[in-house]
Structure 1
C-alpha cells in the first residue's frame, strides 16, 4: 500500500511509511527534498505539472507503483482522516484503510455541497469556460458511456473534490486510464500553454469533475472520510470570493474554491 502525498515544497509529512511524499514538477526544479521521490523518475509527465498540478504525481504512481495492492493520493495539506482535524496524527492508518475497503471499492473525501449553484455553473463562474465545453464534447464524442453521469453531475450541487482517493490497484488503473485518456484529448483541443496564472492549472481543475463520473458509471461503492487539513481554512474569505464570482461575474474574482 502506498498513499502518495503530492507536494511542491518541503513540508511536514505523516510518519507512517504508507505515505510517500512525491515532489511534483521535479523536472522543472532543482534538487529533490530528502525523503521525497521526484515525479520525474521512471515513466512520467513531470514537465506538465504547471498545467496538471497533483495529477503528475498520480501519473507517476500509475506507472511506477504497479506492485502495490492499494494506491491513493493525498495533498501535503489535505488527507483522508479518521476525524476532521488539523493534526497528522488523525490521517488514516493502513488498518483503517483496509477496513474501509472491505465494504467499499473507493475511499473519498466527504462530498462538498455548494447549495446555491450546480457544478456546471460553479465551474464556469470560477474558471475559463472554453476547456469545460471542450471536456463536454470529448465526453460526448469519445466516452459516451460516461455521458449520462457527466450530465447528472452538471446539475448536481455536490462533488468529491481534490482528486483525492484510495482504491485497489486494478481500479486505480481503470480510473487513471479514464482520467488521462479524457484529458489528453482535451489537451489537443485547447491552447493551454497560453493560459496565465491559475487558469494554467486547467487539467487539475477539469479532472475534479471526472472522479464522480467514473464512480457512478462503473457503479462503484464508495466510503467518505473527513479531511485532515494541516492549514486552517479561512471560510469567510472563501465564502465571500464564492459570492463575488457568482453575482459580480468579475474576472478579478475568479479563484478556485
Structure 2
C-alpha cells in the first residue's frame, strides 16, 4: 500500500483489479472460506485486527474494519470489485471501462484542490420513493426503526439527520468513500458500535442468507447521517462498473417492490 492513499477493493472471488498501486485487492470473508485463495495480490481480511468471521452478514464492512484497524495511509478508502470511483470524463476515447476508473492523481487532486477530507460517490436518486419507503418495500424496515432507537439512546444529536434522511429521495450509498485517516477512523469508531448493537437486537441469523446481510445495508444509510450531523464537506465522483448494468432488470425489481410488494431476494 502507498503511504499517501490506499483504497481497498473488496472482493470474494478472482476479478480484474485496477492497475494503479493505490488500489489494494482485498479478499473478504477469508475466515469463513479458508480453502479459497485468491492469490498473493489479494490481502485477506482475516489478518491483523479483523472481523472476517462476520462477513456473511457484514459483507464489505469486514474490509472497512480491516482498513480502520490495520492501514495507516494518509487517505483511506473502500470500493468494490464491480463498483469504483470513475473519472469525471468517463469512457473518453476508450472502450475499456477500467480506463475510466479514477486514478491516484485525480483523487488526490480533488482532495487537495478542494481542501476536503471526504470523497463520495454521486448520490442515488429514488425519485418516486423516499429512503425509508424504498427500504421498507425492498427489505425489513424494522432494522431502520431499531437503529433510530439506538441513535436516540446513545447519540441523540444524530436523530434529526437520520429523520431527514429517511424522508429524503436521495442518499450516498454503496459503502464507498475515501477519507482522511482521521475522518475515516472517526466514522468507523462511531458506526461499528451502532451496527454491533443493532445485530444484538436483530440477529442476522433470523433471516435467510440474503437478508442476513442487512448490517451492510443499514450502515450505507448511516454515512449521510454522520456527515450531515457533523457538517463535513465532501466532493462527489461518478460511479463506474466494469460490467454493464442491466437497468431493465434493476428497474423491474424496483417497481415490483414498490407496487407489488415483492421484496428483494438477491442483488441486481
TM-score (norm 1): 0.95
Say how many residue pairs are matched: 255
Per mean C-alpha deviation after superposition, the further-off stretch among 29-38 and 107-116 is: 29-38
Corresponding residue of 2:170: 158
**What secondary structure, in the 3-state scheme, does the structure 2 residue paired with 1:201 have?**
helix
Corresponding residue of 2:44: 38
Corresponding residue of 1:124: 136
Deviation at residue 121 of structure 1 after TM alignment:
0.6
1:3 to 4, 7, 26: 7
User: 1:217-246 CA deviation, whole Å, 9 max, x = no partner?
Assistant: 111111111112011111111111111101
Q: Counterparts in 2 of 1:169-184, with a 5 A limit?
A: 169-184=181-196
Q: Counterparts in 2 of 1:234-253, with a 5 A limit?
A: 234-251=246-263, 253=264
Deviation at residue 254 of structure 1 after TM alignment:
5.0
Determine if the alignment matches structure 1 residue 79 to structure 2 residue 91.
no
- Structure 1 contact 241–255 (Cα < 8 Å) conserved: no
Q: Counterparts in 2 of 1:25-174, with a 5 A limit?
A: 25-29=29-33, 30-34=35-39, 35-65=41-71, 67-83=72-88, 84-85=90-91, 87-102=97-112, 103=114, 104-174=116-186
Structure 1 pair 238–31 and aligned structure 2 pair: CA distance change class (3 A) = closer
TM-score (norm 2): 0.91
- Structure 1 contact 126–256 (Cα < 8 Å) conserved: no
Determine if the alignment matches structure 1 residue 18 to structure 2 residue 43.
no
Q: Which consecutive unaligned segments of at least 5 residues does structure 1 have?
A: none
Q: Which consecutive unaligned segments of at least 5 residues does structure 2 have?
A: none
Distance 1:244 1:141 in 2: 35
Q: Provide the alpha-carbon RMSD of the alignment.
A: 1.4
Deviation at residue 95 of structure 1 after TM alignment:
1.6
User: 1:1-48 CA deviation, whole Å, 9 max, x = no partner?
Assistant: 100000000100011110001100000112431200100000100010
Distance 2:102 2:232 in 1: 21
**What secondary structure, in the 3-state scheme, does the structure 1 residue paired with 2:31 have?**
helix
Distance 1:42 1:95 in 2: 29
User: 1:181-223 CA deviation, whole Å, 9 max, x = no partner?
Assistant: 2101111111212210310101011011011111101111111
